[in-house]
Amino acid sequence: MKQLPRLTSFVMFLALCASITYWLLQWMAPATRPLVIPAQAEFPLPDISAAANLFGGATKAVGTLPIQLKGIILANHPNESVAIITLNGKPARALKANAVVSDGMLIEQITARGVILLDHDAERPLSLPAFSVPMAERPSVSSEPANK
């Protein structure tokens, strides 16, 4: 029993040292930064009607004529590019810029994503289906976090 005051004093001294150490570490620690989670890249869902021709669906109509753009072959010179177009369910035709598609309708411009038709002096865009966009133009998914 003679050692009890010494043991109590030693335990209290250890508790005091632990408390001082804890509060010194809290006071000297750098400020915490909020955790920023990079946003996941969102890809738009493809248009379901774009795949309709694969499963026997109907084609979209531009104006009153059912015209469907099947593909595009881009060349170095815009006048040499070719658009593959079907009209009224007929077999596909390869047409260059300024070629006549039907009565009063011709191809004004061929771009990487579609064709601009000139229908009786009115411009009508005709775009490729969503699933046929070239791989070079699709956004890439990066595994690196975005810098903000």
Enter the CATH code of domain 51-134. 2.30.30.830
The pTM assigned to this predicted structure is 0.46
The alpha carbon dihedral of 9, 12, 17, 18 has a sign of positive
Euclidean distance between CA atoms 10 and 137, whole angstroms? 73
| Strands annotated E in 14-113 | 67-73, 82-87, 93-96, 100-102, 105-110
The alpha carbon dihedral of 50, 53, 58, 63 has a sign of positive
Contact (Cβ atoms closer than 8 angstroms) between residue 72 and residue 83: yes
Place 62 in a pLDDT band, splitting at 50, 70 and 90. Answer: very low
| Strands annotated E in the chain | 67-73, 82-87, 93-96, 100-102, 105-110, 114-119, 122-127
Of the ranges 17-31, 70-84, 107-121, 132-146, which is most confident?
17-31
pLDDT at residue 131, as a whole number: 63
pLDDT at residue 79, as a whole number: 81
Contact (Cβ atoms closer than 8 angstroms) between residue 102 and residue 87: yes
Q: What does DSSP assign to residue 22?
A: H
pLDDT at residue 24, as a whole number: 96
**Tokens coding 127:** 């775009």
